[in-house]
A and B are shown apart, each in its own frame.
Chain A
Amino acid sequence: MSDLAFHLPVLQVLIPLLAAPLCFLLRNEAIVRVFTVAVSFTCFAISMSLLGQVIDGQVVVYEFGGWARPFGIEYRVDILNAFVLVVVSGIAAVVFSAGPGQARRVIPEGREYLFYSAALLCLTGLLGVTITGDVFNIFVFLEISSLSSYILIALGQSRRALMAAFSYLIMGTIGATFLLIGIGLMYQMTGTLNMVDMAERLRDVSHTRTIFVALAFVVVGISIKLAVFPLHQWLPNAYTFAPPMVSAFLASTATKVAYYLLVRFCFGIFGLTLVFEKVGIDVLLLPLSVAAMFVGSIAAIYQTDFKRLLAYSSIAQIGYMTLGLSLATEAGVSAGLIHVFNHALMKGALFLVAACVAWRMGGTSIEAMKGLGQRMPMTMAAMVVAGLALVGVPGTVGFVSKWALVSAALEKGELFIAFLIMASSVLALVYVWKLVEVAYFATPEAEIEKKEAPLRMLIPTWILVGASIYFGIFSGFAVEVADLAAAQLFAAGM
């Protein structure tokens, strides 16, 4: 047993990595489906167990082949990445159990195993990025997750999915290559790729221009993957035209992992002093975050497609996360992390609702959602609850993160920022209300016939909706873990 506990960090990545080619060999649709869900739940169990191991402040280090740093590569789990691992693998477990959704009609009969292979590879990459303690490893895992997500997006029903995937491929590759350039410059100055060693050695060279340039490349590279306004151009199309399940998975995991990377590089490697005092990226990141909050929300109001509306809303929500980061305080980082957890639940739930709508209606145009309140009452009820969470109504997770964010802003004396956070929530109310109005108050053109989405899609949706209520009322878990993670990050950086 203790042996197993010791090997958990590597199993976290190894299990989905080996499961992907196994899917390829199993082929049988029913078996592959059950297998994928089993694998993703195993990953979730492992990440929960890892979080249990590190929650008291101890750091789990797994040295590959027994080679200690600086010679070997190590996986390094602290509270911060254990928390992100839980979010990613938890969402994967719930979303994968709902199946590929609409993608079924596009994937030729008997080829569904390829979909699951790609999905598991994507999960592998995301978990790998999060768990590794080696910066070059980050690049490799990032590309594993990106390449498989391009494939998943291209599986969308419309031919526009192909162009969406292509644009994402170009943008994503440029982003990852920027990160690679940054890592190269950092290696040049420090002679190491290990995050801990790098952070130590960077202190002596942090005044050099090479490191300034490295910081710029790393931050811009990650910002492309994170879709920070104005680098978000790839996101709306990718999320709109991808198969519904893929949108649900990527929206609640891929950008979260990119956010984790930004936090790790800013606070864990470059260090607070360099990033915020010497270079001052908050001067740039803070206005961009606020702009994202407003531009994303306002754009969402004018959308005519449910999924595209959710995609623009995601851009706004990413703005909240980067806002937390750019406050550069422990409370701010903690608020950002709380929002990572909460936004994963809400947006996962809403994209699953979109998947249910697409399943029944064949599309997600808001026009076609007229009268869905009577037609698919359970699905639409889920949309209302998750939508209210997105606005930040008390009793939902959205309120918890807005509260944390506003308190963090007030603590730093940024009264105006706190006001802007509230103001942008009103915009969220507008676009959520638009959906509710169409679903419940608009008169449908055709006869109403009650027809729900299949249970295997409805249950995962309600699990996420239930979680966004549960963690809204009993907010202890996310808030405590995020606080501990931020405290550990700041203690190490000092």
Chain B
Amino acid sequence: MMDLAEHLLARWNYLAVIILMMIGLYITISRGNLVKKVMGMNVFQVSVILLYVSMGKVSGGTAPILIEGEPEVLYSNPLPHVLMLTAIVVGVASTALGLALVVRVKEAYETVEEDEIVALDRAEDERGRPGSVH
């Protein structure tokens, strides 16, 4: 038991990532509110950014800015950070698009609760005529 705790504590960065990831995924799956779903998705994406950034750290390494005349210096790996700049952009874009869709859903259904939307769709099916945006 102690071994396991020690094992996990030595890798606390991964533990943080996993907890954050599960929080995000859980919100996305369990919440019926569409805005909360988007936020959960966002938390989930951010956890991956932490995963990458923490794997770029080299123990004892300094910031990856070249110090001239000192070839012995140990640097952290800058590549994961650069990758995550792109992932942040992707995350922002998908969150923005998700929220934009929620706005349109609110206009069309006058609610952002998934169960109410499902009920509205079902009622429409029973009346037997297809819905329209306008």
Contacts and interface: CB of A to CB of B under 8 A. Distances in A.
Interface of A: 106, 136, 139-140, 143, 147, 150-151, 154, 157-163, 165-166, 169-170, 173-174, 176-177, 180-181, 184, 187-188, 363, 365
B75 to A, nearest CB: 14
Interface in B41-65: 41, 44-45, 48, 51-52, 55
B93 A151 contact: no
Interface stretch (B2-10, B66-74, B102-110): B102-110
Interface string B97-134: 11001101100110000000100010000000011110
Contacts of B20: none
B59 to A, nearest CB: 14
A136 B51 CA distance: 15
A170 B98 contact: yes
A159 B25 contact: no
Which applies to chain B's interface (DSSP): helix, strand, loop or mixed?
A: helix
Contacts of B23: none
21 contacts: A140-B90, A147-B93, A150-B101, A151-B97, A154-B101, A154-B104, A158-B131, A158-B132, A158-B133, A159-B131, A159-B132, A162-B101, A162-B104, A163-B117, A169-B94, A170-B37, A173-B41, A174-B44, A177-B48, A187-B80, A188-B55
A174 B108 contact: no
Contact of A177 (B34, B45, B93, B133): B45
A159 B132 CA distance: 5
Contacts, number: 82
Given A170-B37, A177-B45, A184-B48, 5 more contacts: A159-B105, A162-B101, A163-B105, A177-B48, A181-B48
A169 B97 contact: yes
Which residue among A166, A174, A176, A365 has the maximum number of chain B CB atoms within 10 Å of its CB? A166
A169 B99 CA distance: 11
A184 B101 contact: no
Contacts of A147: 93-94, 97
Interface residues of B, number: 33
A106 B133 CA distance: 8
A160 B131 contact: yes
Closest 8 CB pairs of A and B: A159-B108, A143-B90, A159-B131, A166-B101, A162-B105, A159-B133, A158-B131, A188-B55
Nearest to B104: A162
A109 to B, nearest CB: 14
Nearest to A191: B77
B86 interface: yes
Contacts of A159: 105, 108-109, 131-133
Contact of A180 (B41, B48, B93): B48
B105 A136 contact: no
B121 A160 contact: yes
Contacts of A136: 83, 86
